[in-house]
């Protein structure tokens, strides 16, 4: 049922875990692990990840990122003699499974902390349970308001507001003034960017929003909306759609003779634009992390990831997964306990300063939400390239 992320767990290991957690709960000091440090020999945190289903791509990346962090933590004995372990349950991109697995994790008092590697509607089903039951909770892929419910929740993606400033700055540097917005109104994040964030940024970046068009995630043909944007005189388009719709929009705009700039969200990362071929050249988006980043820390993480996963390039999900586990480990070390209340205090303490080993560069927390500077990434027709900051 569960996939244990370290390879060495077998029946004996589980037995040891039960024994050790039982012993530490009794406060006995003949625990063979690190009794003096307050931590049992093994600490198991719980991960709820989308390993199958429509959003498995991100969930798997996060899972892989977690495994890299886990190896580092146990390899360098970050928690002393205590071994950190992660027990992953596949949510299958299903809301109800998310809620019920979250409840199971919450009921299991030996779980000090839960990480969710899943996107908005699915994470939003787990979040209220974590908050209500007082379980420290790290959301690695979703940061909307419905997930960020209170003191127990820590959010890893940098807020889209801050990310879109980069994109708007890019448009300004290109001298564009007339922005057309195409977005998927069934996606909360895209709706927020299209209806609130860009109207708010427009003045500061010298943009006029000439047209905003909503489509649904089941709209297959985007030529009429594209025509409307171009008819309104847009010289740049914000692409608030993901997946196939992003590729279709870019291609159809190209076929309509559009030569202006496209900005998008991280939803187009990871080869989404490949099917659009030459039309997608130059589409630019801001992201927390990219394998093509020139920053030293990003490069070293990318190398490790590629060598471990058959040359596959990491996307932002991998970086979030990595950060989630390190954050958990730091909090547990700080707390020197697996008690949830102590771990929460640990989280509060370790997030007061800058975290510097993240693949995303320096990460700071404000109101339990992490911020990194981010970078601009561009599609060159076959691969992603980094764009120098304007």
Partner 1 sequence: MHEIIYATTLASVYLMFALGLSITWGTIDVLNFAHGSIFMFSAFSVYLMLEHFDTGMGLLVMVLVGAGVGALLSGAVHLLAFEPLRRRANARDREMQMLIVGVGLSAVPVALANKITGGNPFGLRNDALKVETLHILGVPITSVQLIIMVVAFAMAVAVQQWLRSSRHGLALRAIGVDDETSSMMGVNRSRLALVTMAGAGVMAGLAGVLVSLSFGAMTPSTGDFLILKAFAVIIIGGVGSVTGVVVGAFVLAGAETLILTFTGGTWVDAMSFALIFLLLLVRPQGIFGRRAVVKT
Partner 2 sequence: MDFLGQNEILVQSTLTNFLLAMSLLVCLRVGVFSFGGLACFGIGAYFTAVASIHWGWGAFSSISMAMLISMALGALLAPIVRGLTGLAMGMATIAFTLIAGVAARNGGELTGGAEGLFGIPIMVGTGTALLIATAMTILLALSERGRMGRMIEAVRVDNELSLSTGISVQTVRFVAFVVSGAIGALGGGLAASFRSIVTPLDLGFGPVILALTMLIVGGARSWLGALIGAVFFTWLPTVLTSVGEWQGVVYGVVVAAAAIWVPGGAVGVATDLRRRLAVKRRVRNAIPVKPKKAMVS
Among 146, 271, 362, 381, binds partner 1 (CB under 8 A): 271
Q: Which stretch binds partner 1 (CB under 8 A): 6-14, 29-37, 50-58, 96-104?
A: 50-58
> Of 256, 300, 303, 382, which lies in the binding site for partner 1, with binding defined by CB under 8 A?
256
Residues found in the chain: 390
Tokens of residue 213, six digits: 């068009």
Question: Binding partner of residue 388 among partner 1, partner 2, none, CB under 5 to 8 Å per kind?
Answer: none
Edge-to-edge order in the sheet of strand 369-371: 3-4, 83-90, 42-49, 114-117, 137-139, 153-155, 369-371, 364-366
Q: Does 191 engage in binding with partner 2 (CB under 8 A)? A: yes
- Region from 56-64, 149-157, 299-307, 329-337 binding partner 1, contact rule CB under 8 A: 56-64
Select from 32, 151, 255, 303 the one that contacts partner 1 (CB under 8 A): 255
CB 198 within 8 A of CB 209: yes
The DSSP 8-state label assigned to residue 300 in this structure reads H
Judged by CB under 8 A, which stretch of 8-16, 89-97, 259-267, 311-319 contacts partner 2? Answer: 89-97
Closest CA to 239 of 159, 144, 171: 171
Q: Select from 57, 132, 202, 386 the one that contacts partner 2 (CB under 8 A).
A: 132
Q: Kindly state whether residue 220 participates in binding partner 1, applying the rule CB under 8 A.
A: yes
Residue among 385, 318, 311, 390 nearest 358 (CA): 318
In which residue are the tokens 């047209």 written? 211
Cα separation, 292 vs 387, in Å, equals 10
Tell me how far apart the 2 most distant CA atoms of the chain are, in Å: 76
Q: Which listed residue (35, 39, 45, 56) binds partner 1 by CB under 8 A? A: 56
Provide the b/e sequence for 28-39 (b: ≥16 CB within 10 Å).
eeebebbbeeeb
25 touching partner 1, by CB under 8 A: no
Long-range Cβ contacts of 253-256 (<8 Å, 24+ apart): 253/226, 253/229, 253/279, 254/278, 254/279, 255/223, 255/279, 256/223, 256/226, 256/227, 256/230
Whether the CB-CB separation of 320 and 69 falls below 8 Å is answered with no
Of the listed pieces 20-28, 96-104, 220-228, 347-355, which binds partner 1 according to CB under 8 A? 220-228
How is residue 221 annotated by DSSP?
A: -
Of partner 2, partner 1, none, which one sits near residue 346, judging by CB under 5 to 8 A according to partner kind? none
Judged by CB under 8 A, the residue of 6, 74, 94, 357 near partner 2 is 94
Contact range with partner 2 by CB under 8 A, out of 6-14, 184-192, 251-259, 273-281: 184-192
244 binds partner 1, rule: CB under 8 A: yes
- β-pair partners for 184: 215
In 10 A of CB 302, how many CB atoms?
20
Closest to partner 1 by CB, 246 vs 329, is 246
Considering only residues 90-119, where is the footprint of partner 1 by CB under 8 A? none
* Cα–Cα distance, 117 to 6 (Å, whole number): 17
Strands 208-215 and 236-240: what pairing?
A: unpaired
Residue 385's φ and ψ, nearest 5 degrees, are -135, 155
CB under 8 Å to 29, separation ≥6 — which residues?
Answer: 35, 36
Q: In the structure encoding, which two tokens stand for residue 148, read together?
A: 């960020």
Angle at 100 between CA 96 and CA 102, to 5 degrees: 115
Span interacting with partner 1, options 19-27, 125-133, 142-150, 266-274, rule CB under 8 A: 266-274
Smallest gap from residue 216 Cβ to partner 2 (A):
8
Stretch that binds partner 1, among 39-47, 136-144, 271-279, 290-298 (CB under 8 A): 271-279
Binding mask 192-221 for partner 2 (x = CB under 8 A): x--x--------------------------
Say which entry of partner 2, partner 1, none residue 10 contacts (CB below 5 to 8 A, set by partner kind): none
217 touching partner 1, by CB under 8 A: yes
In the complex, the residues that contact partner 2 under the rule CB under 8 A are 1, 3, 51-53, 89-92, 94-97, 99-104, 107-108, 120-121, 124-125, 128-129, 132, 144-146, 149, 185-188, 190-192, 195
In the complex, the residues that contact partner 1 under the rule CB under 8 A are 52-57, 60, 185, 212-225, 227-228, 243-244, 246-248, 250-252, 255-257, 270-272, 274-277, 279
């Amino acid at each position: 049922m569960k996939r244990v992320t370290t390879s060495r767990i077998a029946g004996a290991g589980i037995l040891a875990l039960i024994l050790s957690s039982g012993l530490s709960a009794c406060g006995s000091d003949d625990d063979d692990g690190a009794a003096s440090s307050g931590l049992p020999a093994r600490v198991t945190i719980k991960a709820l990840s989308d390993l199958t289903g429509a959003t498995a791509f991100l969930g798997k990346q996060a899972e892989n990122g977690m495994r890299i962090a886990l190896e580092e933590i146990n390899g360098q004995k970050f928690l002393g003699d205590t071994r950190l372990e992660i027990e992953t349950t596949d949510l299958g991109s299903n809301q109800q499974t998310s809620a019920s697995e979250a409840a199971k994790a919450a009921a299991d008092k030996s779980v000090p902390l839960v990480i969710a590697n899943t996107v908005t509607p699915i994470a939003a089903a787990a979040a209220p349970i974590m908050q209500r039951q007082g379980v420290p909770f790290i959301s690695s892929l979703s940061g909307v308001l419905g997930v960020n419910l209170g003191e127990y929740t820590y959010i890893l993606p940098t807020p889209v507001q801050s990310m879109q400033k980069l994109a708007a700055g890019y448009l300004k540097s290109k001298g564009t003034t007339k922005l057309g917005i195409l977005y998927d109104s069934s996606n909360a994040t895209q709706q927020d960017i299209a209806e609130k964030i860009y109207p708010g940024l427009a003045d500061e970046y010298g943009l006029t929003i000439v047209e905003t068009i909503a489509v649904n995630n089941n709209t297959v043909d985007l030529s009429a909306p594209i025509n409307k944007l171009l008819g309104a005189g847009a010289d740049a388009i914000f692409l608030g759609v993901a997946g196939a719709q992003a590729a279709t929009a870019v291609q159809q705009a190209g076929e309509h003779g559009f030569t202006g700039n496209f900005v998008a969200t991280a939803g187009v990362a990871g080869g989404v634009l490949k099917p659009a071929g030459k039309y997608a050249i130059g589409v630019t988006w801001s992201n927390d992390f990219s394998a093509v980043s020139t920053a030293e820390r990003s490069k070293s993480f990318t190398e490790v990831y590629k060598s471990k996963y058959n040359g596959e390039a990491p996307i932002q999900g991998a970086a979030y997964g990595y950060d989630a586990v390190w954050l958990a480990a730091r909090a547990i070390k700080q707390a020197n306990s697996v008690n949830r209340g102590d771990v929460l205090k640990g989280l509060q303490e370790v997030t007061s300063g800058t975290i510097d080993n993240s693949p995303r560069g320096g990460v700071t927390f404000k109101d339990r939400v992490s911020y990194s500077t981010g970078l601009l990434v561009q599609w060159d027709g076959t691969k992603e390239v980094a764009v120098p900051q304007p």
